[in-house]
Amino acid sequence: MKRLLRRNETLVAITLVILCLVIGFNNPTFFTWGNIFVLLRGSIVTGIFAMGVLIVLISGGIDVSFTAIGIFALYSTVKLFLYFDPNAPIWLGFLIAATIGLGLGLINAFFIARFKLPTLIVTLGTLSMFHGFLLFTIGNRIIRQDIPPSLTAFARATVIQVPQTRGTASLHPAIFLMIAIAIMVWLLLKYTMLGRGIYALGGAPEAAERAGFNVTRIQYFIYGFVGLLSGIAGMTFGALARQANPQDIVGMELNVIAAVVLGGAYLTGGRGTVIGTLLGVALVVIANNSLILIGVPTVWQRVVIGLIILVGTGIPAIQERRAGQRASGLTEM
């Protein structure tokens, strides 16, 4: 029992339950189906991004370019649709966006794996490079009125409808896309040799090489895969919003990284779980979207989120340090 309580996922789950109860008791609207479906819809894009960030953090790296890759893939895909075939199906859009994201992610991988450059420096550079190239070469006009019909149809899709006093609450099927990606990442990390290599790389790169893992190939996979997921997340965002705005998404990196770290991933690498990440995403999304229901002004919401992050990451760090001190004390005895 004590071991379960020490797990970061348990602490995040407890924090999440307390936050929901506080908000719900102060404003019963929080527990309505309409609000629940809105929160689930709001977690889709963050959740997809978070799955990629989780893999990067486990490997000991930091990627901040994923939002630029996402909006680059979305805007480029919409432009291609409008130029070649505005009535193309939505699945083709996701395929094109994922391919574009994969290509941009491999650019990150090339500099990181080939030249051994720090991941933060590389992705900071490519964040500006990708976004700047998009704005000045592909276009900077918001595409809203002539958005492809398939994106509008996707935005209006529903899988569950619940009648309410005012209107109908609808659950968007894109939530299952996020769930499928989360399951795929969980299977990758838990049951494949590649997943073990990602954890080993985050623990100690030199030890991973001595154990027989091809570090270069793993890094190419990691950043290519993150790019692919970013392309899918970008396309999902644009389809749900029914617009392609080159200024969207970029700037939400902190929230995504915070969600993954809250879920138990270490910035130093070697640790992180899909379940913890999903809990972190839920905590950040609820804090961002529902604090206003209990009267917390928008300007103070970032302060509250910052406090949640400090508490959520600080308590496990303190517990681990104490555990290490007890272990060293027993060793000396």
- pLDDT for 314 equals 67
- Residue 331 domain-assigned (yes or no): no
- pLDDT for 5 equals 47
For residue 171, give the 3-state DSSP assignment: strand
- Residue 203 domain-assigned (yes or no): yes
Return the CATH number at 23.
Answer: 1.10.3470
- pLDDT for 73 equals 96
- Residue 159 domain-assigned (yes or no): yes
SS3 sequence of 257-273:
HHHHHHCCCCCCCCCCC
- Residue 70 domain-assigned (yes or no): yes
Strands (E), the chain: 160-163, 168-171
> Which residues have CB under 8 Å from 177's CB, separation 6+?
44, 48, 232, 236
Pick left, alpha or beta for residue 144 (phi over 0 → left; psi -120 to 50 → alpha; otherwise beta). Answer: alpha
- Residue 166 domain-assigned (yes or no): yes
- Residue 193 domain-assigned (yes or no): yes
| Whether this model's pTM surpasses 0.85 | yes
Count, in order, helices (H) and strands (E) of the chain.
15, 2
The number of domains in the chain is 1
Answer yes or no: are the C-beta atoms of 219 and 12 closer than 8 Å.
Answer: no
Q: pLDDT tens digits for the chain (333 residues)?
A: 445 445 677 878 888 888 888 888 888 888 888 888 889 998 999 999 999 999 999 999 999 999 999 999 999 999 999 989 988 899 999 999 999 999 999 999 999 998 889 999 999 999 999 999 998 888 788 888 888 899 989 988 888 888 777 778 788 899 999 999 999 999 999 999 999 999 999 888 888 888 889 999 999 999 999 999 999 999 999 999 989 989 889 888 888 988 898 888 888 888 889 999 999 999 888 888 777 766 667 667 677 667 766 766 666 667 667 766 666 665 555
- pLDDT for 176 equals 93
For residue 1, give the 3-state DSSP assignment: coil
- Residue 332 domain-assigned (yes or no): no
User: What average pLDDT does the structure give for the chain?
Assistant: 86
- Residue 333 domain-assigned (yes or no): no
- Full domain range(s) for residue 117: 2-324
